[in-house]
């Protein structure tokens, strides 16, 4: 009798449960309630924008395989671009940056400040593999470094022609900012001119509004043809302005980094300045041009060649000099040991001086922070 009663109770409860589901305000939401969002009915971007989107996506996918993350361990207290938490006082400092593969057997370009003073350099490829790398060469003046891993058959980034790059063109900046993986930012070439770095020897850098954040350093700046046109190097403190080393300058320096481990920059041993309109008559000039020699370092190439303070350099080997950056660029790129002819204006008279270019000597003063405006460097 007890079993029969329980059975009857279970049978009676089933219809009650079904009725509860149908009562408004029950456990399930009403089918007629307003949805929380509006579903798209398949809208599409204008055809021109759609083509641009497809181009940008395909470029990003094609460029990611040669992009690498550069992880560095350096002694405690060493200064660098931080992308990792600060270590305890007795622990080594770990930082990271970016780079890209330029040859299938493992040659990788990055920034000097990313790997300078490193105890260990580790490269993480796009496919997740990790390799210890060795430093082949670096140059702090332009902020360029070459490292190598022992691998073969690697994907490579194609280097383009930065001289053809125009202000206003679209560019992509690739890298690993803040330790994030495989990021791409989009912008334009804002300017081609002087960088922020203290000792850059007169070469025009590429200024862009494509985001270059900590960790992007050493990654490629790429045009819409998928060619590397620069190496992301630095940014202003607010992150709104980025600078990249022109790839044509990089191509000129890589052979020296590979062969010598460094770049031998030309050097005269002078401090220089511009000639303004008020000063031009004082130096016998009809108009402001050339470069004023403010000081000559005793015993250095300019001093040995007879250059004196208050000389105005008008030409080097027949190439006219319009301003300080012209002189810096020409002298710094002249091979050490080559003799050049300087045409100078001295006391209102032109004369030629033969000067043998020496090797650049880095200043001993502490480096100015990378994102600060800098005084004019010396050739």
The residues carrying an active-site annotation are 113, 143, 217
The Cα 328–Cα 273 span in angstroms is 11
**How far is the CA of 344 from the CAs of 302, 305, 314, 347, in angstroms?**
12, 12, 5, 10
Q: Which helix (H) or strand (E) holds 73?
A: strand 67-74
Tokens of 146: 């070459």
Alpha-carbon distance of 276 to 248, in angstroms, equals: 32
Q: Answer for the pair 66, 98: CB distance below 8 angstroms, yes or no.
A: no
H/E stretch holding 284: none
Backbone φ and ψ of 117, nearest 5°: 65, 20
Beta carbons of 215 and 83 less than 8 angstroms apart: yes
User: Measured between alpha carbons, how far is 20 from 25 in angstroms, rounded to an integer?
Assistant: 9
Radius of gyration of the chain (CA): 31
**Quick one: which of 178, 174, 175, 217 has its CA closest to 196?**
217
Kindly provide the b/e burial profile for residues 238-268, where b requires at least 16 CB atoms within 10 angstroms of the residue's own CB. Answer: eeebbbbbbbbbbeebbebbeeeeebbbbbb
CA separation for the pair 46, 168 (Å, rounded): 23
State how far the Cα of 100 lies from the Cα of 136, in Å rounded to an integer.
Answer: 15
Kind and range of the H or E run holding 324:
helix 324-332
């Amino acid at each position: 009798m007890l079993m029969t009663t329980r059975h009857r109770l279970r049978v009676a409860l089933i219809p009650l449960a079904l009725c509860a589901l149908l009562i408004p305000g029950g456990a399930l939401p009403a089918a007629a309630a307003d949805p929380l969002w509006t579903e798209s009915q398949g809208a599409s971007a204008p055809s021109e924008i759609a083509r641009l989107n497809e181009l940008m996506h395909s470029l990003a996918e094609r460029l990611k395989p040669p992009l690498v993350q550069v992880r560095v361990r350096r002694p405690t207290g060493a200064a660098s671009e931080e992308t990792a938490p600060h270590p305890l006082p007795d622990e080594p400092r770990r930082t990271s940056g970016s780079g890209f593969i330029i040859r299938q057997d493992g040659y990788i370009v990055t920034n000097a400040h990313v790997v300078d003073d490193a105890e260990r350099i580790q490269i993480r490829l796009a496919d997740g593999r990790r390799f210890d790398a060795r430093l082949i060469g670096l140059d702090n003046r332009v902020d360029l470094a070459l490292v190598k891993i022992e691998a073969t058959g690697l994907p490579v980034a194609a280097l383009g022609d930065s001289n053809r790059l125009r202000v206003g063109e679209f560019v992509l900046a690739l890298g690993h900012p803040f330790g994030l993986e495989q990021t791409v930012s989009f912008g334009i070439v804002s300017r081609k001119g002087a960088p922020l770095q203290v000792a850059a020897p007169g070469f025009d850098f590429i200024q862009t509004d494509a985001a270059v954040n900590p960790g992007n350093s050493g990654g490629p700046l790429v045009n819409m043809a998928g060619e590397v046109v620069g190496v992301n190097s630095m940014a202003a403190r607010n992150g709104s302005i980025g600078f990249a080393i022109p790839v044509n300058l990089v191509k000129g320096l890589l052979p020296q980094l590979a062969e010598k481990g460094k770049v031998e920059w030309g050097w005269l041993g002078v401090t220089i300045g511009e000639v303004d309109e008020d000063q031009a008559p004082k130096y016998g000039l009809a108009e402001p041009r050339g470069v004023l020699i403010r000081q000559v370092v005793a015993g250095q190439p300019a001093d040995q060649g007879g250059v004196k303070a208050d000389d105005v350099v008008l030409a080097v080997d027949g190439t006219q000099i319009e301003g300080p950056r012209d002189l810096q660029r020409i002298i710094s790129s002249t091979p050490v040991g080559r003799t050049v002819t300087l045409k100078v204006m001295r006391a209102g008279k032109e004369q030629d001086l033969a000067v043998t270019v020496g090797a650049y000597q880095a200043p001993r003063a502490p480096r100015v922070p990378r994102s600060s405006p800098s005084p004019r460097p010396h050739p």
